[in-house]
Amino acid sequence: MAEKIKKISNTSRKKLFAGSSLSLFCSYTMPQVLKRVKSSNLAYKICCHHQTAVLVTVTAAATAIAYYWYHKSSAQHHHDIETQRLKGISKRKVLKRPEEKFASLRIEKRFVNPFEEWTEIPFYKTVLFWMGRWKGNGIPKCEKELDRTLPVMKPNLNQIKNASKSVSFTWFGQSTCLMTIDGLTVLSDPVFSKCSINDYFGPRRLRPIPCPLEDFIDNVDIVVVSHDHFDHLDESAVKKLGNSVVWYIPLGLKNWFVSRGVTNVIELDWWQEVCHKNSDLTIACVPAMHWSGSRTPFEKNNTLWCSYVIKASNDKIFFCGDTGYSPELFKAIGNLYAPFTLAAIPIGSFMPTQLMQHLHMGPEDAVKAHFDLGCPRLSVGIHWGTFMMSDEHYLAPRQVLDTVWQQYTKDLKNQALAVDQVDDSTNSSTPFTAAVDNIENNMAATKFITTAFGQTILIDH
């Protein structure tokens, strides 16, 4: 038996070494290629050729497939992990406190989602989706049309800097938001590259960045990072901000930051709260349904993913990281932390449904989350119109949100009217009546909108 185990172990090491070699070859030679591309017009033309893009995509996919082929994670291994995950969820059903029921869950040193709604997407489906994704998303070639449909405004940085008594929100694209609360400036998921991976690779930005990071870098006090995917964590932005800010990050990411010389970081587990230094501000890390580790195939779910609640004495902000929709989860967050002054909620990257529904919320799920959270005074749609990494039309998140919001609020008002008519005829009152009345009363004080890139919204008391 011992010999058999040793043999398996040696084989696994050989397979892991083979997969590692392939991945490392791509990871460590790419920066050298980029340096030569920047210094050579010919190389630049070659890299911009459409066949080169296809070659790079196929090479990356082949590398990842090779890793998964050689790695010890067989289909049976994945099945065993899923069985353990479901057992863990089953044991937690009797727990009442959300901090226990939805505590982070790790199996074999990798994080997994403790939500019944979660479904693991087979790796080959993701590869096939990306290799066959040339639909275009209806993006116009005319720059004037993009200016009309996705306007970019220059942020009023003086207004943001002086918003000491207000909550302010400015969207820079994807999940990069500049927010002020209690006199402090919070930056979320900082990405300022031209593409989703860096300035040269990945889906390109549809619109230019409202202003460079350097224009306001000295005003940033706090940075919150939801997870390590390229469109949420930009290495160049991390190096620019460095130790001048306090970084709040999910479990497992600290080594990545430290290896880049950034040590002013605080790792948080789900439901963990930390009081920000020399202030009354509290940063709370709350659960999300997603995954991590897109930088190399070896990193999948080695680090945690999350959302954040930022609490001041009079205001609270909910910053939602990438997540699928789970009614239990959002209601738990709302019950524990509501009321919210502001919520930044993702509304994009939701098609095709069978691939995305457990990874990202579409507008309909985002509206449900808004109400589950207790109707924040203002919710703003983020994670759309920036990098096209899904199949919906580039304007669909905003258009669908407007339609869903109007229909949802109309339905609620109709329900309230119907209950009022029943109560008038019976001269009775029910708990349901009180609940509907409460929602109806809050409807005038709650909104779910989208903004232009760089547009600053102020929420006064």
- The full set of domain ranges for the chain reads 132-421+437-459
Give the chain's end-to-end CA distance (angstroms, integer).
70
Q: What's this model's pTM, rounded to 2 decimal places?
A: 0.82
Q: What per-residue confidence (pLDDT) applies to 375?
A: 96
Q: What per-residue confidence (pLDDT) applies to 251?
A: 98
The tokens for 434 are 């009180």
Contact 272, 288 (CB under 8 A): no
In the DSSP assignment, the letter for residue 313 is S
Q: Is the Cα dihedral 253, 254, 260, 265 positive or negative?
A: positive
In sequence order, the β-bridge partners of residue 168 are: 180, 458
In the DSSP assignment, the letter for residue 279 is S
CATH 3.60.15.10 assigned to 132-421+437-459: yes
Residue 160: CB atoms within 10 Å: 20
Q: What per-residue confidence (pLDDT) applies to 297?
A: 62
59-88 pLDDT tens trace: 766 766 665 555 555 677 888 999 999 999
Q: What per-residue confidence (pLDDT) applies to 319?
A: 99
201-250 pLDDT tens trace: 778 899 999 999 999 999 999 999 999 999 999 999 999 999 999 999 99
Close Cβ partners of 137 (under 8 Å, ≥ 6 residues apart): 388, 391, 392, 393, 394
Torsion from C-alpha of 443, 444, 446, 452, nearest 10 degrees: 130
Determine the Cα angle at 340 with ends 292 and 442, to 5°: 130
Of residues 199 and 405, more confidence is placed in 405
**CA dist., res. 187 & res. 176, Å (int):** 7
At 1, the pLDDT band (50, 70, 90 cuts) reads very low
